[in-house]
Structures are given as C-alpha cells and as structure tokens.
Amino acid sequence: MEELQTEKKAEVGLSCNGLGGEEALGRPISQFKKKGDYKGLMVFLQEQLEKIPSAPGETALLSKLNNELGLAHLELEELEEAATYMDRAVELDPENINAAYNRANLSLYHKDLEDALRRYGLILADRENHVGATYNSALCHALSGRVPEALPFFKQVVSLEPEYAGAHFWAGECLLDQGKSGEALAYFKGAAELNPGHPESIRGLAICQFHSGAYEKAIDNCDKLLTQSGPELMALGVKGDCLLAMNNPKEAAECHIHMAQIDFDAREFVSNRAKFLAQAEPEKAPAYIDTVLKHIPEFKPTLGNLMGAPTAPNS
C-alpha cells in the first residue's frame, strides 16, 4: 500500500478558528493573525483571560480564549504549550468542538495515534458527520496499519463531502490493498477527476484499469504519469504488462527493460516475467526474451535456455 502521509498541516486540522460572536475580541485577534504577530496575540489573550472572572457563565468564552492561545503557540511550534491550553479549553467547555478537534489534531501531528483516535471518537459520538474527525480517524487507523478499519471512515467522508479528493484516493488505496481493484476503480477515478495532477491517483487508476482489462486506458494513464513525473517503475511495469496482455511482447519487454535501466533491482522483475511467460504463455516468450537479451546480454545464461521451454500443461 502507498505509504500514507498527512498531505499538509491544514488537512490535519491545525488551522485557527475565530471567536464567533465575541466581536469585541474577535476583531483584534484577527488583526494579530493578519500581521502574523503571534507573540503579541499571546500577550493580548493572557490579558483578556486575567480580566474575565472564572464564573459559570464565562466558561464558554474562557474556553475559546484558551483555544486561541493554544493555536497561537502552535503557530510558533511550541507544541507542549499548545497542548496545555487546548486541554484547558476542552476542560472548561466540553461542548467546544473546535478546541476538542484542535487538540485531537495535535495528537495526530505528534503521531500519538491512539490518543488522537480516542479524541476523534468523542467528537464523532456527539457529531457523527464531522468530516474532519471522520477523515482523521481513518488516517489514525491507516497509519497504524489497520487498513480494514480505515476504509469505512474514508468511504463515509466521500459520502459526506464528495469533492474531497483525498478521501476518494485513500478509499481506493485501502481497497486496492485488500485486492478489491474492481471496487477501487471508481474511487481512483473520482480522485483523478477531482485532482487531475495527483500522480498517486493516476497510478492507482492505471493499476485498477489493468486488472479490469481496460488495457488501452491503463496505458494512457501510464503515459500520462511518465510524461508528468518522468521514468517511474510502477508506470513502466503496468504499461509493460498491459502490452503483454495485448500480445505485444517486444514493446512490453522494452518497458520492463527501462525499469531495469533506472533501478538495478528491477532486473529480478524482468527475469521473473520472462520465466513466467516461458511457462504460462510460451507463444509470447521468444519475442520478449530476445528483446531482453539484446539489451541485457548478461541474462543469457539465465534466460537463453528458456526459448524452447515446454508449454505449461492444461490445468
């Protein structure tokens, strides 16, 4: 499975949230943020906290101010201080979903995945359609290697927010990891349509198209990826296998040889493909092996005797 990474900090939810109806405080806070003066913002917020009494009627405002203070520390990469103030915000007002979400995201940012997952679970228990908490719950499961548990969350995000390209892509990746290329195809197609320049989505789409027998479409996407990203092992491998399926063993070999030229370890792939053809599809083997030997003559001791390999018995 493609290594899962958070694409950018904003998608993990580490973005600042305003104070809503508290306009008297919201305006100066916005000004500090526009200037990027987070140290000045922290001084201002501390002054406001000292002015507000710790009374039951003020807990919501106190919670919001602590959340803002946590976010200001986060902007300065002061993560321990950020966690302290976000924790205080959640303690003061458990209904402050912004604070709870920011605190959960901080755990995800720290890769404290079980703590993050627990916190997202609390949010989803209250707001089951919270897109950010749903998506990041999926990330926690996927980053922990629990792909089957991640998949329903990614699928739910696609249902809640159909324009979320990342959710389409990771749903496709999870399905492909489970060998369900037919189901994954629709998700990769959606991801590629929503984010046409995303190479991983194009790659996933090509792999699924190969498995579905849509070889020409798969080749088109491999060529797109090769044009966009340059020589790439997966694109060359899939294109070569498509060409084999279309009975073009010479061109297939040229693709696979290109793999070996950019990565020495890919020679084993080429050798294994030749051996497979000699046994399973002997009619394609001579052209494939002959092309390989012209470019990699040192394979002759290994592959030369395969040219007359017997046809595999019918199963």
Are 131 and 164 within 8 A, CB to CB? yes
pLDDT at residue number 58: 83
Average pLDDT rounded to a whole number, residues 264-275: 94
CB hemisphere CA count around 170 (13 angstroms): 32
Residue 70's pLDDT band (cuts 50, 70, 90): very high
pLDDT at residue number 9: 41
Average pLDDT rounded to a whole number, residues 60-77: 94
Three-state DSSP state, 146: coil
Q: What is the dihedral of CA 115, 7, 217, 175, to 10 degrees?
A: 0
The pTM of the full predicted model, rounded to 2 decimals, is: 0.83
Cα 127–chain centre separation:
24
Average pLDDT rounded to a whole number, residues 73-94: 95
Tokens of residue 234, six digits: 């997966």
Q: What is the 3-state composition of the chain as percent helix, strand, coil, each rounded to the nearest 5?
A: 75, 0, 25
Which domains, and CATH codes, for the chain?
A: 1-106 (1.25.40.10)
pLDDT at residue number 304: 79
Are 250 and 287 within 8 A, CB to CB? yes
The rounded distance, in Å, linking the Cα atoms of 149 and 167 is 14
Hey, which of 47-51, 139-143, 300-304 has the most confident mean pLDDT? Answer: 139-143
The rounded distance, in Å, linking the Cα atoms of 153 and 138 is 5
Query: What single DSSP character describes residue 309?
Result: P
Are 89 and 64 within 8 A, CB to CB? yes
The rounded distance, in Å, linking the Cα atoms of 54 and 38 is 25
